[in-house]
Amino acid sequence: MSLPPTSPERPLPGGEAADADELLPLIEDGPDTDAPASTEAGTPWSVLVVDDDVDVHHATEIALRGLLIEGRPLTLLHAHSRAEALALIERTEDLAVMLLDVVMESDDAGLTLVREVRTRLRREALRIILRTGQPGYAPELVTIRDYDINDYRTKSELTRVRLFTSLTTAVRAYRQMRAHEQTRRGLEMVVRASTELSKLHGMQLFARGVVNQLCALLGMLPEGLICAQAGLENEDDPARVIAAAGQYGELIQRPLHELGLPRVQAALERCLNERRSHFEEGMTLYFATSEGRGLAAYIDHQADLPPLDRHLLEVFCSSISAGFENVLLYGQLADQAYLDPLLHIPNLNHFLKCLSELSMPDAKQNLAVVDIDSFASINDMLGHGFGDALLRTVSNRLTSSLGERCTVARVSADVFGVLGPKELVDAEPLQRHFAMPFLVQGQTVRLSATMGLVRLGQPAGAGAELLNDAHLALKRAKGLQRGTACYFSAEMGQDARTRMQLLNSLRAATGSSQLFTVYQPKVCLQTGRALGLEALLRWRKPDGELVPPDRFIPLAEQAGLMSVLGSFVLHTACAQLRRLHEAGYPHLTMAINVSQAQLREPDFIPLLADMLNETRVAPACVELEVTESMAADDLNLMRQRLEEIRALGLTAAIDDFGTGFSSLSVLRHLSADRLKIDRAFVAEIEQDSRIARMVVNLGHSLSMTVVAEGVETPAQRELLLQLGCEEGQGWLFARPMTEPDLLNWLAAQRP
C-alpha cells in the first residue's frame, strides 16, 4: 500500500532509454511529509540499482537523494548488466534492496538474476523490486507467483513517492529478516557455546571457557575475567578471581579487594551487590546461582551494544547460570567421590586416579601404604571419637611434613597411601614421622606404623595393581614384624598370582569330587586299639596333584570358604561314621574340625542338630575340635558354642594346644572333654618333655582326656605313656586313609 501523496503524482518515463532532460523535472516532485522527519545520521542502507540505461541510474540517484529510511540514509550501488550485478552482490555483504530492471542484455536477464541470487548465492534477506518498461516480457501475476520478489512496478507508474514507499517497505522487511537471522545466529552461538561449556566440569576451567565464549559472541579477542562471590565454593572463601584472560591473566585466584584495578573492582562489586548485569564502562555480566551467591564477568568491551546483542547476552547469562550450578554440583559430587569426609584429604578413589594417571614408570617416585599399628585396639579402648581425632592428627602431620610434592590419601580405615619423590616416600623418612609422639585430645600417644612400598621405576600395571602390590608388601611386613617396612618384589607378585590361581581352582573344586575326606585313627596308647577317627579334608586336582592342606586351608579361610568346606566335611564324616557303625564298628567315634566362621554362623547349632538327625548318628559318637587360637579370639562366643554343642550330646576337644599365647587363661573357661597336645611338642619330647608333661597335667587337672598328635616313633609313645597321656594318633599307628583302606585297616585290627 502506497503512502498518500501530498502533490500530484507524475510518473517516471517508461521507456528503456528515457532522456535525462525529460526525467529531471519529474523527479523534483516528491513527498514532503512521507519521508521520516528524523535527520539522525546512521549506517546507510545499501541499495543496488541494476539497469542497462544510465539515465535511469542518474534519475534514481537524484530521486532518492537526501531521503532517510528509519533515520538512516541510502547508499546507491550501480550495475548495468546481470553479470555485473551478480559480481557486485557476491562481494557486498550488507545489501538491503535491489532495484532491478527485467529486460537488459536479454529479455529474461533480470529474472535470471533473481533465480541466481536466491538459489546459488542464498541471499534470502536481500529485497528485490522489479522495474520494467515492457511488462509484456514478464507478466506481473506470473512473476510475483514464481519469483521471490518484494514488488513489481512498471517504470511508468513509479513516481518518487511510490519509489520511496516501495523502498521503505523493502528496507523494513530486510531489517526484520536480518534481525531474525542475527537472532538465529546469535542463539546458535549461545547454544554452541553452552554445549561446549557443558563439557567442562572444573569451576576454573568452566569460568575460563565462559570468558572465551563471551568474547567470541562479541567478536573480540579474549580479554576479561570472572570473579566468584564470597563463599561460592567454600564458606571461608573471599570473593576472588577464578578465571582471567588477556591482560588480566595474572589475576587468577587473587581476592577481589586486591585486584589493584579500581575501575574493574568497582564494576564487579556493583554487579555482585546489585545482582544484575551492567553494560556501561566496560561490560559486567551477572550469573545467578540458587544459593544466592553469584559470579560476575568483566569484559573489556567499551562500545555500545545494540539491543539485540544485549538480549542475546542476557539469554547467554541465563543459560550459563545453570551451567555454573552444574559445575558447583559436580564439584560437590567430586568432593564426595574423591575426598575423605573425615580427614578432608584425597580418598581411595582419588588415589587410584592419581596412580592411573602416571603416564610412564618414574624411577624418582615411590608408592607407600602406611598402616597405623594397633589402631583397632585404640579405637576399642578409647572410643571412636578419639580414634577419629588420632587419624586427623596423623593426617595433618603427614600432609604438612610431606608437602605439595606428595599426595597423601586415606585408602582404608587406618591406612594412608603416599605417592611422591623417593627421597620423601621411603621407609626411613616415613618412619621418622612416627618417631615423635602425637598429641590427641590432650593426651600424648606414641604410635608405630607398618609400611609396604613400591618403587615406580619399573613398568607396572594400572593404579589398582600398583596399590595391590603395595598391600602385598605391607602384608609381608606385618608377617615379619610390626613397625617395619617392606618393599614389593617380583617374587611377591608371582606368589600372589600363584595363590590367586590356587584360590580360583579351589572355588571351582568346591562341590566337586576333587574334595574328599580321609580318616586317621585315634588309638589307645596302651593297647593300640582304635577308639575313633579324625576326619581330614583333602584336595586332588584334575591332573592328579594332591594339594597339601597347609596350602589351601589358609586360602579358604581368607576367601570365606571355610563354612562351605566345613559343612561338607561335617556331613561327609557323619555319614561315614554311620556306615562304619553298620559295618560292625559301633564303638568308633568321629572327631571333626570346625572353623571359627562356622561357629559365628547364628544357625550353626540348629544345622548341626538337623545333620545328626539326617545321618542317624548318636551325638555322643561325634566330637567337634576347635583350636586354642579361636578361643582366644572370641572367648565369649567360644564358651557359648561349646556349651551348646555339649548340650546336644556331642563332645568337644581343644586342638593344637600350647601354640597360642593365652592357653592357661582361656582353657579354664571352656567346657571341653579332650585336650590335644600339638605335634610340635610331641616331636621334641625325646629331647625335652617339660611342655608335654605340663599339658598332660593341666588336662588331667581339668578332668580332660589328653590326646597326643603326630606320634611317629615307639619312643615317643613310651614317653607319652609315662607322662600319663591316654590317647594318640600319628603315623606310628596309621596314616590318614580313604574309606576302602580304612575298612581294611580296621579288619586287620580285629582279634
The grid coordinates listed for 171 are 528496507
Rounded Cα distance, 53 and 41, in Å: 31
- The CATH class of 20-182 is alpha beta
pLDDT at position 665: 64
Query: Lowest-confidence range among 22-26, 118-122, 488-492, 529-533?
Result: 22-26
pLDDT tens digits for range 73-130: 999 999 999 999 999 999 988 899 999 988 888 888 888 898 898 888 888 888 888 8
Q: Which three cell numbers stand for residue 237?
A: 572463601
pLDDT at 609: 94
- Tell me the pLDDT tens digit for each residue of 721-744: 999 999 999 999 999 999 999 999
Q: Which CATH architecture has domain 358-488?
A: 2-Layer Sandwich (3.30)
Which residues, in sequence order, are CB contacts of 557 under 8 Å at separation 6+? 595, 597
Q: Which residues pair with 243 in a beta bridge?
A: 226
Element (H, E) at 568: helix 562-582
Q: What is the DSSP letter of 147?
A: S
pLDDT mean over 305-332 = 74
pLDDT at 685: 93
Structure-block grid coordinates of residue 394? 596423623
**Average pLDDT of the residues of the chain:** 83
Identity of the residue numbered 172: R
Distance CA 229, CA 287 (A): 10
Of 471 and 356, the structure prediction assigns the larger pLDDT to 471
Confidence at 36, pLDDT banded by 50, 70, 90: very low
Please say if the pLDDT value at position 459 is more than 50: yes
CA 544 vs CA 114, 164, 535, 541, 547: distances in Å: 93, 107, 21, 5, 9
pLDDT of residue 670: 81
d(CA 245, CA 251): 9
Per-residue pLDDT reduced to its tens digit, 176-202 = 777 666 666 655 555 565 555 555 456
Is the confidence at residue 442, as pLDDT, over 70? yes
**Phi (first) and psi of residue 144, to 5 degrees:** -60, -35
| pLDDT for position 40 | 37
> In the predicted model, is pLDDT for residue 630 greater than 50?
yes
Reported pTM: 0.53
431 phi/psi in degrees, rounded to 5: -65, -30
Contacts of 324 (CB under 8 A, 6+ apart): 206, 287, 289, 295
DSSP state, residue 102: S
**Measured between alpha carbons, how far is residue 364 from residues 82, 361, 367, 426, 437 in Å?**
75, 9, 11, 11, 30
CATH number of this structure's domain 200-338, picked from the four choices 3.30.450.40, 3.40.50.1820, 2.30.30.60, 2.60.40.1120:
3.30.450.40
Lowest pLDDT segment from 33-47, 166-180, 482-496, 619-633: 33-47
Quote the CA–CA distance of 25 and 173 in Å, as a whole number: 31
Q: Residue 304's pLDDT is what? A: 74
CA nearest to 624, candidates 606, 600, 603, 648: 648
Q: Provide the residue type at 373 as one letter.
A: D
**Predicted local confidence at residue 384, as pLDDT:** 92
Q: Mean pLDDT over residues 229-235, rounded?
A: 60
What is the arithmetic mean of pLDDT over 544-551?
A: 92
pLDDT at 151 over 90: no
Q: Binning pLDDT at 50, 70 and 90, where does residue 498 land?
A: confident
pLDDT tops 50 at residue 8? no
Mean pLDDT value across residues 557-578? 93
Band of the pLDDT at 526, cuts 50, 70, 90?
Answer: very high
Average pLDDT over residues 583-607: 93
Span 276-292, average pLDDT: 80
Q: What is residue 649's predicted lDDT score, i.e. its pLDDT?
A: 95
Q: What percent of the chain has pLDDT over 90?
A: 44
Q: Where are the domains of the chain?
A: 20-182, 200-338, 358-488, 510-749
First-last CA distance in the chain: 136
Q: How far is C-alpha 364 from the chain's CA centre?
A: 28
Q: What is the pLDDT of residue 646?
A: 94
**What's residue 112's pLDDT?**
87
Give the pLDDT of residue 278. 86
Please say whether the beta carbons of 727 and 706 come within 8 A.
yes
Give per-residue pLDDT as tens, 675-708: 999 999 999 999 999 999 999 999 999 899 999 9
Region 33-47: mean pLDDT is 57
pLDDT at 409: 96
Per-residue model confidence as pLDDT tens digits over 639-675: 899 999 999 999 999 987 766 545 566 677 788 999 9
Residue 534, H or E segment: strand 530-540
Q: What is the CATH number assigned to the segment(s) 510-749?
A: 3.20.20.450
Segment holding 728, helix H or strand E: strand 727-729
Question: What is the residue whose three cell numbers read 600395571?
Answer: 461
Do 200-338 and 510-749 fold alike per CATH? no
C-beta of residue 265 within 8 angstroms of C-beta of residue 256? yes
E strand or H helix at 244: strand 240-245
- Type of residue found at 714: P
pLDDT score of 711 more than 90 = yes
pLDDT at 286: 87
Q: Which three cell numbers stand for residue 201?
A: 566440569
Q: CA-CA distance, 401 to 324, in Å (whole number)?
A: 36
Is 622's pLDDT higher than 90?
Answer: yes
Nearest to 288 by CA among 328, 248, 258, 249: 328
Confidence (pLDDT) at 178 = 75
pLDDT interval class at 26 (50, 70, 90): very low
